[in-house]
A and B are shown apart, each in its own frame.
Chain A
């Protein structure tokens, strides 16, 4: 069963990214209103906005948290061609009482000549490293050599991927068997270059990143990428959000002993491909143990994917909105339905149960005809469950629509405002 809580985000424009911190107790949102907001979860489970500030002079595309080992640190990237690093400073006591905290800018990275479309911290075992990718196809990797001084970052690597980049993902594996690896996705609509996902790997000898693989089968614009957490397996799993949801398996092939130079060769297999969204898929995200993948698409749904113990991937749940059309819900009182959605939840709950009444009479009471709460709804469980279910429709909560635009850089931008 799904239960949702809605938070009025209070951004004055579209939200582009939402990110949990490492422990799931804090959240950051960023928006076209050029600001970033930080939310904290109280013990009672309520989210409060503890900071809100203007971060860039253009739409903020992504926001991401550093590992808590480095403190309370955020990074953001924007249409204004910059990326920035922010640190929370412990405020005055009266601030604490008001539940507010302060974030100050530690550095601005201005190397990019075009909109910076994604920003991600590298896995912590690599130190404090930040990666950005831009609309002109350049991927930059920065490092803060002194983790106590967040204002000093040096550009360590610049990778030209030749295609307009939309997203990056680091392989989280800290195993010594795997050199650092980063996947770069492109939303370039140019069809000349086949593969829209490139994998780069760090080479100990040349001390540089080199392209290890291009996923040639991905020919449509890619909106998001995510490496799955590695469970000590020898292979890697990468989820791609493009015109459908794809899950790839990358198996490193054994290197010939003589040459240890050159990047690893991979055997690429597609583990699963789902077009259930029937529209562009914008985000993919793994859970902690890589057992569940969530995807969201232009059909306004979030779908959950799971593999059973036989390694077959199936849809295990759909979170759906109130059914309003995706674009131009203009006429419709969308705000109302969204707000209405959350209040309607409680009552929806009561309506959901179905059937099997006769088995479940508490011996105390006379049997209830068609007793309602039988929970024998196909819920999110697995061993081979398909998800066409109309019954999933009755699962609550929702919302998620992402307005469909083509490549990010052609968004109507309030430049200079």
Chain B
């Protein structure tokens, strides 16, 4: 299940001795933190996405069947690769002793997983018919048993080559099932007769082999150690007794074989019931048992998804089949989300869950800790691609707020713009302006200079942008333009009243230039602004405000003087005829 963290408290009555209460943080599903398993998650994600996208491409049913089988084999090879890696690391000296156990454990799990998957592939996906079914099962068993057995098999085989020649000529090649069946029965009868006749009486070894060949159960059971597992026994029995076994007949033999082999010596284990359920073609039971037995959703989620693509879940009367698939995928993906980097894989899984995928993603993605800007941008991109507007806004707001707290105004501003948060943008613009008043310079000029249309988000922001533009024009010595802009900031009421004094003070250097910059009309407007500011001033109350007032008064005087002088010069200039 999801690796949600639980934190809970311990409380107990301190009884005399001062006990320190504990808080325990619990986590589920540590598996996702295994570095080697990560490869499994990554690669299976790749296969998964490929499978989802295949649906429409493939035209014929046959091709589809081939493709799905291919995908299944891909999954299995990924499992094997992971297993081999784990084994390699466990066997090497890299890791500490007690860690080794965990690795071995993981290998065990993967072995079981691959065993089950392989069987499911044979029975459900390849859906081998009678005849080739046994061949596939043979392959399956061979792949999963220890080397020891293989050697024994070889020995057995080498003894009587001639007799086996016809035997190994199985159907699918040159003969039909019936032809084979007839031949096989004849051969079987022949072997049986040999036994009855005691032809091999003098050679107990040969007799044993013959007994095996006729599929004598007792003899086979005696070879238990070589067979190691009941399903090996099953396949062996089938090989010697019922090579043309049909898929529908499998479960009879399976149950019987298991009972015979285990013989009450040991109880059937979870893996046994899973395999049995597979032989019974009870997909639902297989999935159910696997979910319980394995503590990771990876296996059931991917297998169920694959089976769903084969349309197998429906055909097995699982009407809630696609619900089941989605349920498992959601569980798996939710688990991935708690991992600091694997969460990105989870996104694709959610994308392919039509019913609840989107809402799960929305809920999960907004909880991803936004440690760095880079991570935040990653999360944002995912949300933007999916038109998750509210999540985008929220994430940007969180980042803006964080930046503001740390006094990174530029960052805060750019996040608010991205969040389209006018109120916050206004607030930050105010701060910028305040900073300017205090320090005389702007921080984050790059950002403000390149606002573009974002400037329109809030009035204050527009003012900030335009004001900065004024500074730029001034620096570039485009005085006339600068002057015009400055004036318009006041007349068009873009500038807040509180800032007018600063603007007028900014006008001073322009007024005191040798050449006349502000025209007479413009000067009248400036004067008008000044008057607007100075009317309705209240008498100072405190000592401090008296001081401030004095400074103000001086400034105003300076301004009046400069404006008057400029006006005079302007009038003269405008009144002079060009010579």
Contact = CB atoms under 8 A, between A and B. Distances in A.
Interface of A: 1-18, 20, 22-25, 27, 29, 31, 39, 47, 68-72, 90, 124, 148, 174, 229, 231-232, 283, 285, 287-289, 291-292, 294, 296, 302, 306, 308-310, 316-317, 319, 321, 327-330, 334-335, 338-339, 342, 346, 350, 353, 355-356, 358-364, 367, 371-385, 397-403
Nearest to A397: B26
Interface of B: 1-2, 4-31, 87, 90-91, 98, 101-102, 104-105, 107-109, 111-112, 115, 146-147, 228-229, 269-271, 287-288, 291-295, 297, 320, 323-324, 326-327, 330-331, 334, 356, 359-360, 363-364, 367-370, 390, 394, 397-398, 401-402, 405-407, 427
B91 A364 contact: yes
A29 B8 CA distance: 10
A330 B398 contact: no
A52 to B, nearest CB: 13
Nearest to B14: A13
Given A148-B427, A376-B271, A400-B8, 15 more contacts: A6-B22, A15-B23, A18-B7, A71-B401, A72-B405, A292-B4, A294-B8, A358-B229, A359-B271, A364-B87, A373-B104, A375-B105, A381-B292, A383-B287, A402-B11
A361 B13 contact: no
A18 B9 contact: yes
B292 A385 contact: yes
Given A360-B108, A380-B28, A382-B1, A12 B228 contact: no
A316 B28 CA distance: 12
Contacts of B104: 362, 373
B350 to A, nearest CB: 11
A371 B4 CA distance: 30
Nearest to B404: A71
B23 A29 contact: yes
B15 A375 contact: no
Contacts of A338: 10, 22
Contact of B363 (A2, A288, A358): A288
Contacts of A285: 6
Given A2-B26, A364-B91, A353 B7 contact: no
A346 B97 CA distance: 13
A309 B323 contact: yes
A22 B363 contact: no
A69 to B, nearest CB: 5
A70 B1 contact: no
Contacts of B111: 359-360, 362
Given A334-B12, A383-B291, A350 B26 contact: no
A316 B23 CA distance: 22
A362 B89 CA distance: 13
A90 B23 contact: no
A373 to B, nearest CB: 3
A4 B27 contact: yes
Contacts of A15: 9-11, 21, 23
Contacts of A18: 7-9, 23
The 6 closest A-B CB pairs, nearest first, are A373-B105, A360-B108, A379-B295, A309-B327, A330-B15, A23-B369
A368 to B, nearest CB: 9
A194 to B, nearest CB: 31
Contacts of A397: 24, 26
A15 B22 CA distance: 9
A382 B288 CA distance: 8
Contacts of A17: 9
A38 B243 CA distance: 70
A285 B493 CA distance: 53
Given A68-B401, A69-B394, A7 B367 contact: no
Given A14-B21, A296-B8, A380-B1, A375 B323 contact: no
A4 B17 contact: no
Given A18-B7, A302-B8, A25 B2 contact: no
Nearest to A287: B4
A7 B398 contact: no
Contact of A363 (B15, B147, B359): B147
B107 A289 contact: no
Nearest to B370: A23
Contacts of B108: 359-360, 362, 371, 373-375
A403 B12 contact: yes
A382 B332 CA distance: 12
Given A23-B368, A373-B108, A375-B109, A399 B28 contact: no
A334 B11 contact: no
A292 to B, nearest CB: 6
Given A291-B331, A373-B105, A24 B369 contact: yes
Nearest to A338: B22
A28 B394 CA distance: 23
B398 A400 contact: no
Candidate in B12, B229, B367 with the most chain A CB atoms within 10 angstroms: B12
Contacts of A308: 327
B109 A400 contact: no
Contact of B294 (A47, A363, A381): A381
B2 A289 contact: yes
Contact of B397 (A4, A69, A294): A69
Nearest to A377: B295
Nearest to A331: B15
Given A302-B8, A360-B107, A360-B112, A350 B24 contact: no
A382 B327 CA distance: 11
A399 B271 contact: no
A27 B21 CA distance: 15
Contact of A373 (B1, B101, B287): B101
Given A4-B27, A376-B293, A12 B269 contact: no
A310 B323 CA distance: 9
Contacts of B320: 309-310
6 contacts: A4-B25, A231-B359, A353-B105, A356-B270, A364-B91, A376-B112
B269 A355 contact: yes
B29 A1 contact: yes
Contacts of A71: 401, 405
Nearest to B8: A400
A80 to B, nearest CB: 20
A18 B10 CA distance: 10
B367 A22 contact: yes
B206 to A, nearest CB: 30
A330 B324 CA distance: 49
A171 B12 CA distance: 32
A361 B144 CA distance: 10
A142 B368 CA distance: 29
Contacts of B24: 4-7, 342, 397-400
A291 B330 CA distance: 10
A390 B30 CA distance: 22
B269 A356 contact: yes
A371 B326 CA distance: 35
Nearest to B18: A12
Contacts of A371: 108
B15 to A, nearest CB: 4
Nearest to A319: B26
A24 B5 contact: yes
Contacts of B105: 353, 372-375
B291 A381 contact: yes
A306 B292 CA distance: 13
Contacts of B8: 18, 283, 294, 296, 302, 399-400
A185 B406 CA distance: 40
B292 A378 contact: yes
Contact of A7 (B22, B27, B363, B364): B22
A286 B339 CA distance: 19
Nearest to B6: A294
A98 B25 CA distance: 24
B26 A289 contact: no
Contacts of A380: 1, 28, 295
A24 B367 CA distance: 8
B364 A289 contact: yes
